[in-house]
């Protein structure tokens, strides 16, 4: 086997290190390889076969070696420094899609564990020529940082990293842990992002006591709004099957468009609920209609629609599906059509009951911004819908006016104040 081929395997070796010298006098190293089954040595001593979890080492320099049959070996010098750190690069893949890298990093071993969650992926920029700059080469103009992801939500991540850096410089013996949960799969279907990281943390019995999700939550100015919950999201793709035929002989056909229009009208007519004190009413919205028919004189054989339901805590996905299916069945039976419907559950509705930490955040935000924030559940979905399964959480970040837009931007003043808010929350949380 040539050297070029040999390097295909272990050239992708991933190393994650745990530095625990400060509290326990040791560190631990975990090693994964693609594919698994690589032999790992540290300082010449055999440690086992990948994946390896938690090799205890002393602080300082070490030689890490990995080898696999028919593949070129890898040697790497690593340095374990003072501190108490845990870092995991978690890569997940589903089907034929690209694998997604996620990060879980923790400073400290003690409780409580305060976690910050965010995402580094962004939506497409749209037409480059519509931007005043290259959307992926950020620039500062007139007091604003411009670039795709500046608002949603890389700047928030930077603010929390900066706040943590300042905090541990002044409080290196704080009583607790600080962790980061950063995903690269939030803007899409989110199947290989925070959802799977949460499943991993549950399996490992990793305890998170409270989580701040750094999504941009403020409509107009920093400090206006804290998100304490979100509506659920249910997407459906419906296809109606009729009988194709000539439009001059409609009695010999069965036009699926007529049936689909009736279903759409009936579903839209129904009021799902009136909402409650924490949530606005649930709503169903159609997002596409499609008929694959290029001929003007042919009744098509099928017609499709796609719709989404944003629902509050008076509903569940299963309850909504039953209601929708009943309506579709009734109309298709009457019109002698068949149908097929596929659902995608994007997350159930949830509400975090305001408690000590949420009121603490409210106090800190008001102190820095001079604005008294309101609690809200408005807007779209976020990764808080997954995190709430393992920890109470709130969402607070920047002003969301320019998210997903051309010339997405964030005020430099807001960046400075958001960092102050996160820093002061750390001070208060670990008192």
Of 39, 53, 91, 121, the catalytic one is 121
Strand, helix or coil for residue 287: strand
Contact partners, residue 137, CB within 8 Å, separation at least 6: 147
CA-nearest of 186, 160, 155, 226 to 409 is: 155
Residue matched to tokens 């745990």: 18
Nearest one of 11, 156, 6, 164 to 74, comparing CA atoms: 11
Secondary structure (3-state) at 7: helix
CA 122 to chain centre: 11
Q: Is residue 121 flagged as an active site residue? A: yes
Other Cβ atoms closer than 10 A to 252: 11
Q: Name residues whose C-beta falls within 8 Å of residue 139's C-beta, 6 or more positions apart in sequence.
A: 133, 145, 146, 147
Q: What residue has token string 């010298």?
A: 21
Place of tokens 């408690």: 355
Residue 287 falls in which region: left (phi positive, over 0), alpha (psi -120 to 50) or beta: alpha
Contacts of 58 (CB under 8 A, 6+ apart): 21, 25, 26, 27, 80
Report residue 51 as tokens: 């994946």
Residue tagged active-site, from 65, 185, 186, 187: 186
Tell me whether residue 285 is one of the annotated catalytic residues: no
**DSSP state letters, 30-90:** EEE-SSS--EEEETTEEEEESSEEEEEE-SEEEEEEEEETTEEEEEEEEEE-SS-EEEEEE
Q: Which two tokens stand for residue 211?
A: 């989580």
Q: What is the set of active-site residues? A: 121, 186
């Amino acid at each position: 086997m040539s050297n070029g081929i040999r390097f295909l395997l272990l050239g992708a070796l991933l190393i994650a290190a745990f530095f625990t010298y400060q509290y326990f006098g040791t560190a631990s190293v975990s090693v994964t390889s693609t594919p698994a089954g690589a032999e790992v040595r540290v300082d010449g001593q055999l440690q086992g076969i990948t994946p390896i979890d938690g090799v205890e080492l002393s602080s300082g320099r070490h030689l890490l070696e990995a080898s696999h049959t028919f593949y070129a070996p890898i040697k790497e010098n690593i340095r374990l420094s003072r501190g108490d750190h845990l870092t995991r690069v978690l890569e997940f893949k589903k089907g034929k899609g690209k694998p997604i890298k996620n990060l879980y990093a923790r400073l400290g071993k003690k409780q409580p564990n305060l976690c910050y969650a965010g995402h580094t992926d962004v939506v497409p920029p749209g037409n480059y020529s519509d931007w005043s700059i290259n959307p992926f080469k950020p620039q500062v103009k007139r007091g604003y940082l411009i670039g795709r992801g500046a608002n949603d939500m890389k700047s928030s991540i930077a603010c929390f990293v900066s706040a943590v850096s300042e905090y541990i410089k002044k409080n290196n013996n704080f009583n607790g842990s600080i962790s980061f949960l950063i995903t690269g799969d939030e803007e899409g279907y989110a199947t290989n992002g925070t959802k799977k990281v949460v499943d991993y943390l549950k399996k490992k019995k990793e305890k998170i006591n409270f989580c701040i999700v750094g999504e941009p939550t403020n409509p107009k100015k920093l400090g206006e709004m804290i998100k304490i919950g979100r509506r659920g999201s249910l997407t459906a793709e419906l296809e109606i099957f009729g009988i194709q035929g000539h439009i001059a002989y409609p009695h010999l056909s069965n036009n699926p468009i007529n049936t689909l229009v009736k279903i759409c009208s009936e579903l839209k007519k129904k009021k799902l609920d009136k909402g409650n004190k924490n949530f606005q009413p649930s709503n169903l919205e159609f997002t596409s209609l499609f008929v694959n028919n290029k001929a003007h004189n042919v009744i098509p054989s099928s017609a499709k629609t796609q719709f989404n339901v944003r629902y509050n805590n008076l509903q569940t996905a299963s309850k909504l599906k039953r209601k929708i299916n009943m309506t579709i069945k009734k109309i298709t039976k009457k019109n002698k059509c068949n149908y097929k419907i596929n659902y995608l559950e994007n997350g159930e509705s949830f509400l975090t009951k305001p408690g000590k930490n949420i009121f603490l955040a409210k106090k800190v935000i008001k102190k820095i911004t001079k604005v008294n924030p309101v609690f809200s559940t408005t807007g779209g979905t976020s990764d808080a819908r997954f995190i709430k399964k393992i920890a109470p959480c709130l969402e607070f970040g920047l002003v969301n006016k320019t998210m997903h837009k051309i010339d997405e931007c964030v005020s430099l003043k807001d960046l400075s104040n958001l960092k102050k808010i996160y820093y002061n929350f750390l001070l208060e949380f670990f008192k």
